[in-house]
Structure 1
């Protein structure tokens, strides 16, 4: 934290401490279920309608920024760690610095909108942001202007839902049992009917709408789609594809190191140790769990599987999105 603070003016140091304090306190409290906010979207949990609107309308992205735009539980933390290590992990100075930064500062819609005032004071060679925002809430004109790039994960919707169900069984979600049932059958029905407070969605919408929105940019050179299942099966090749998309040429040695450092086993150990800001954040929310392909088969009934297939086929009709099960 000392190196980070050394680069900040006094006013920003106060903002940093206040935001970090509210972040820590927020992680200790149950996530809220907010009513629809800006543009009719639900900003549940620790996400801010005000921050989203300010970024869209007022803030410019730093040149050559990288944004991970993901629906919850589609590989966000795994792919995020790959990009983190890719951008900063090969330089010890920047690797230490990025680990000092409290997570909310680089979650676009997270917490207070005031956090954006700190961006220009953090001396990183690249700026990397995480987000669960759907395509209509990211100002693509600003993406073009700043030569920024967006990575969008795709995971089969059945494994996504199983991961979301297990994640929501945390005691942190106990006050939201009315919306996030601990009974699988009820949870499944509520999800399919668009009743759950999933960030950031409109009432009645969910994963299919998120994918459909980003699919409109499928031919744009600034957007790259990563299939979770392909990343599991052909890890080195998919990591290299992400690197090429970001304009990086990695050696075989670097690719191997990246693969090892970002394996689920390695990330789980780091998370459980909680040795830096990001690890503590992931530990508090149990964000790194199993990351397996095909877990849905242990829980879905035949009728549930068929209903999911029918819904996704109907909502994604006209797109080229295919899932790997």
Structure 2
């Protein structure tokens, strides 16, 4: 699988893996190329699998924790992270050996998902976050993870983000493709969560998720899960001080800020106008309720 160096206008580089024109991070396992290509037809699902999907930096870790708490009926953080079930970062052997019930997750397009997941109608949760906050968070993600070896500026990164010249490609194309898939698969169990709604009304959104997943709940469990999954609690309780992230990041870890509207602190007027223009051109016609502030 060829490694590609994606250069921005400033000449700064992000290294990605090119799988038939789709850019992915290099997860450093020997069978990655073979497994990514065979995933659609050869990764076998189980009836109780739950699949969490989204574009990067859209609340994956956060919602994954909520799902596992609803599944175990305990508002407790478990030792391993969502990375253990990230399908594009694991070999087929690891995928098959993961014990049930599996809470899987991916940043891949709907068209790339294992066909068996669709055949079995595994429950699928798709999370959506406004692209301005996604872009800022993704910039810090690339700066923070040593695997990228990236030291570009926010301005240079935003250009590549808007172009889709980045691992997992274009946010705009991802959202449009997922919207199309949801509209075309009305019989498939898909639940959409807006990141901003989770921030604004967490208990109600967790209740909706529990109903969709057909998990029992009471008001105390919902409140306990919301409290345990507050950003500050998760940052201190799970990732921030873990040796894995200290060894693989520049120190910011996976949880950095998590607030809605953080983009306003860093965007220039020109950057904001460029974002708004592309948003109107690319997905405004979908009439998605995307909140840039709350």
Distance across 1 between alignment mates of 2:51 and 2:130: 21
Matched-pair contact (CA < 8 Å) for 1:152–1:226:
yes
Matched-pair contact (CA < 8 Å) for 1:230–1:238:
yes
Measured at CA, do residues 104 and 53 of structure 1 come closer, stay the same or move farther in structure 2, by a change above 3 Å?
Answer: farther
Look up the match of 2:104: 129
Q: RMSD value over aligned CA atoms?
A: 2.6
Measured at CA, do residues 83 and 303 of structure 1 come closer, stay the same or move farther in structure 2, by a change above 3 Å?
Answer: same
Matched-pair contact (CA < 8 Å) for 1:67–1:151:
yes
Look up the match of 1:71: 55
Distance across 1 between alignment mates of 2:201 and 2:247: 27
Alignment of 1:1-325 (within 5 A): 33-37=15-19, 39-46=20-27, 48-90=32-74, 99=79, 104-119=83-98, 122=99, 124=100, 126-139=101-114, 141-170=115-144, 172=146, 175-177=149-151, 181=152, 183-196=153-166, 198=167, 200-201=168-169, 206-219=170-183, 220=186, 221-270=188-237, 271-274=239-242, 280=244, 284-285=248-249, 286-325=253-292
Once the 2 structures are TM-superposed, how far is the Cα of residue 232 of structure 1 from its aligned partner?
0.3
Aligned residue for 1:109, secondary structure, equals helix
Matched-pair contact (CA < 8 Å) for 1:282–1:288:
no
Query: Which string of whole-angstrom CA distances, capped at 9 and with x for unpartnered residues, describes residues 265-289 of structure 1?
Result: 1101112343xxxx94598551111
Matched-pair contact (CA < 8 Å) for 1:261–1:267:
yes
Measured at CA, do residues 133 and 257 of structure 1 come closer, stay the same or move farther in structure 2, by a change above 3 Å?
Answer: same
Once the 2 structures are TM-superposed, how far is the Cα of residue 165 of structure 1 from its aligned partner?
1.4
Once the 2 structures are TM-superposed, how far is the Cα of residue 247 of structure 1 from its aligned partner?
1.2
Distance across 2 between alignment mates of 1:89 and 1:303: 47
Matched-pair contact (CA < 8 Å) for 1:52–1:113:
no
Measured at CA, do residues 282 and 55 of structure 1 come closer, stay the same or move farther in structure 2, by a change above 3 Å?
Answer: farther
Once the 2 structures are TM-superposed, how far is the Cα of residue 46 of structure 1 from its aligned partner?
1.6
Higher helix content, 1 or 2: 1
TM-score, normalised with respect to structure 2:
0.82
Measured at CA, do residues 282 and 68 of structure 1 come closer, stay the same or move farther in structure 2, by a change above 3 Å?
Answer: farther
Higher strand content, 1 or 2: 2
Structure 1: unaligned runs, 5 residues or longer:
1-30
Matched-pair contact (CA < 8 Å) for 1:151–1:226:
yes
Measured at CA, do residues 145 and 91 of structure 1 come closer, stay the same or move farther in structure 2, by a change above 3 Å?
Answer: farther
Structure 2: unaligned runs, 5 residues or longer:
1-12
Aligned residue for 2:125, secondary structure, equals strand
Distance across 2 between alignment mates of 1:174 and 1:113: 24
Matched-pair contact (CA < 8 Å) for 1:106–1:128:
yes
Matched-pair contact (CA < 8 Å) for 1:103–1:281:
no
Once the 2 structures are TM-superposed, how far is the Cα of residue 41 of structure 1 from its aligned partner?
0.9
TM-score, normalised with respect to structure 1:
0.75
Once the 2 structures are TM-superposed, how far is the Cα of residue 63 of structure 1 from its aligned partner?
0.7
